[in-house]
Structure formats: structure tokens, C-alpha cells
Amino acid sequence: MPKDSPALLTVRDAAERLGVTPRTLKYYEERGLASPTRSEGRYRLYDEDDLKRFGRILRLRSLGFSLQGITEMLKQPLEPVDGGHRYSLDSLRQIHDAIAQQADALDARIESMRRELKEAQKLRADLSPDLDYLKRRLAGENADTLLEQRRNARKEARSGAANPPASTNGKPTPRKPRAAKPA
């Protein structure tokens, strides 16, 4: 290695310098927050810029920022302000807008999932009488009687008079099977 090239550290050495585990550095790389160089043998090699970037990520994480927020923050440069480095108002607006856009997209996904859940719950409720019928048939109840009960239940539901019988355990009280009509 030439004398003027920066020293490169292995993942273990870089993690030790930063006070984290090698897995933490690999995780941040997997999330796209860093991309160290690779040796000919495909080993990760970290330079001082990588260590500064990881240091910045770790500071932001320690302040409670999400990885999505940090991703947006890393896209913006820090600017010298009062002897330190801060984001300009323009940078803060850009970070805000990017995170707000992500939040809006997540809100849309949540709403879509709520609609899908509601639909799934309705489909599940639609299957419940079928399962009940089959369970009762398998238990040996008369098919004609059960079918008549289903027809009556559908008529009641259509007329709006379908009030489930009260029970003590939260489940409807099963109706007594009617006697089959003589043929």
C-alpha cells in the first residue's frame, strides 16, 4: 500500500474503534447507510470517511432518530454554524419533506391494509355459517332440518329482524332443531 493512501481497517477493527459489533456495521451497510470498499478477497475495508459516517449514524441513533430519518439526513450536508456543524433550513426542509412523504406512503398502506382486513373479516363471517352447518352435519344432525334453519336465518337477516339470541359466554345460543316434516 502506498504511503499516501489512507489506512484501511477491517470490519472488526472499525467496529472496535467505534465501540460497536461488526454485525452493527454490516447491518448499516445492508440498510444502505454505508458502502465500504472491498479488498480483492471481498473483505470490507473502512477508511476514515467511513468511520466518520458511522460515527454520525451512531450519534443520530443515540438521539433516537429512525434509520429512515437517518437515511434522509445522510443525503444532506452538514454546514458550519457557530463552531459546530448543523443542517441549513433548506436541508431541514428537504429532510422533513422526504420523511413526510414516507409517512404519507405508510399511511396509505395502513389504510389499504385496514380495507383488506375489513374485507377478510367479512369473508370470514360469511364462512362461519358454512362451517357451523358442516360441523353440525358431521355431528349427525339432520340435513333437511339444518337447511331449513339456514333458509329461515337468511329470511330473518333480509327482513332486518335477525337479532342473535342472548347467551352467557358471548356466543349465540344454538337453536333447537325443528322436527322434520313428514314426507
Q: What dihedral angle (degrees, nearest 10) is formed by the CA atoms of 154, 158, 160, 166?
A: 10
pLDDT along the chain (183 residues), means of 10: 65 94 93 88 90 92 91 87 83 91 94 97 94 94 92 87 54 56 49
pLDDT at 169: 54
Ordered domains of the chain (ranges, CATH):
1-63 (1.10.1660.10), 115-158 (no CATH)
pLDDT at 47: 92
Of the candidates 67, 73, 99, the one whose C-alpha atom is nearest the C-alpha of residue 86 is 73
Predicted model pTM: 0.56
pLDDT at 50: 92
pLDDT at 172: 57
**What's the gap between Cα 47 and its chain centre?**
34
End-to-end CA distance of the chain: 100
Task: Provide the greatest CA pair distance for the chain.
Answer: 105
- Decide: 29 and 58 in contact? Cβ < 8 Å: no
pLDDT at 164: 56
Helices (H), 63-88: 67-74
pLDDT at 183: 45
Alpha-carbon gap, residue 51 to 61, rounded angstroms: 15
pLDDT at 22: 94
